[in-house]
Structure 1
Amino acid sequence: MAQPRVVTIHYTLTNDQGDELDSSRGDDRQPLSYLEGAQNIIGGLESALNDKTAGDKVKVSVAPADGYGEVNEELVQPVPRSAFEGVDTIEPGMQFQAQTPGGPQVVRVVEVSEETVTIDANHPLAGETLHFDVEVVEVREPSDEEKEHGHVH
């Protein structure tokens, strides 16, 4: 396998409807840097950028399987309202960190009734085809510390 690189990109992410979901472009934004092979970004985007060099521009569509996965209906479930003890107002769209057997996980409230709160532990972009408009800003060798830690410093 080739030596991993640190790749710095500017990107704009849109969904199938063309709505902008995220971007590194803008006055107060910084480009995104990642260490290849360290799962710092979604696999479908990383694989499309593997052979790119500074100055390259690419448009990439990433299917759910190579992005945040398909929606898993088992991750949408009702929990007793008492699980939100101390929270006065619970509304759809709110996010909470839940303790699960696999560790902390962010869940999103999708429905609220008197007795239950339906939560969704899927990533908010699960099931979405993601469209990236990317410009590679810089490519460089990682430092020993970056390779050891598995992320860019």
Structure 2
Amino acid sequence: MTLEYTGRLDDDTVFDTSRESVAEETGLAEAQPDREYAPLTVEIGAEQVIEGMEEGLIGLEAGETETLTIPPEKAYGEPSDEHVQEFETAELEEMLGGQTPEEGSYLEAQNGSQGEVTHVDEDVVRVDFNPRLAGETLTFDVEIVDVN
């Protein structure tokens, strides 16, 4: 199935889209200059998208448009303390080539997951590896381009 989509948060902030025009209007294109905007092709049942989106796409036909509202438990889950990691400041600075991490900056773990630095002091750095959209209800406007 191939679709165009725009994802919004409860406050109407667009966090993701397949449409270049929407990305340009909302500033996403500026924030992600290397991103290519194109329709998304997903195989239903292959767990390529979040559970709530996959469920919402079942049975849709080419040409149909639908608004899917997806609660956190069928999207990225609720934020969890298990995903917040503490590092010794000196050890982390060494791993970063001598740089001191700043609160609000992002680090990438060895497994590729992104974490936000939420606390820095002389002894400890706390990094939150919860998904950026954890705890959020997501709304997707989808348009089915093709069903294969």
In the superposition, the TM-score normalised over structure 1's length comes to: 0.78
Alignment of 1:1-153 (within 5 A): 7-27=1-21, 29-81=37-89, 82-85=91-94, 86-99=97-110, 105-140=113-148
Tell me the SS of whatever aligns to 1:114.
coil
Instruction: Pick the structure with more strand per residue.
Output: 1
Tell me the SS of whatever aligns to 1:74.
helix
Tell me the SS of whatever aligns to 1:35.
coil
Alignment-mate amino acid for residue 4 of structure 2? H
Matched residue count: 131
Write the distance in 2 (CA, Å) between the matches of 1:31 and 1:87: 42
Structure 1 residues 113, 62: CA separation in 2 closer, same or farther (over 3 Å shift)? same
Q: In the TM superposition, what is the alpha-carbon distance from 1:105 to its structure 2 partner?
A: 3.5
Structure 1, 87-96 or 53-62: larger mean CA deviation: 87-96
Percent identity, please. 37
Q: In the TM superposition, what is the alpha-carbon distance from 1:37 to its structure 2 partner?
A: 0.8
| 1:97-133 superposed Cα distances (whole Å, 9 cap, x missing partner) | 324xxx5543221222222111111111011000101
Does structure 1 conserve the Cα–Cα contact (< 8 Å) formed by 2:84 and 2:126? yes
Structure 1, 86-95 or 24-33: larger mean CA deviation: 86-95
Write the distance in 2 (CA, Å) between the matches of 1:122 and 1:37: 25
Structure 1 residues 87, 48: CA separation in 2 closer, same or farther (over 3 Å shift)? farther
Which residues of structure 2 form unaligned runs of 5+? 22-35
Does structure 1 conserve the Cα–Cα contact (< 8 Å) formed by 2:6 and 2:17? yes
CA RMSD between the two structures:
1.7
Q: In the TM superposition, what is the alpha-carbon distance from 1:90 to its structure 2 partner?
A: 1.4
Structure 1 residues 73, 79: CA separation in 2 closer, same or farther (over 3 Å shift)? same
Which residues of structure 1 form unaligned runs of 5+? 1-6, 141-153
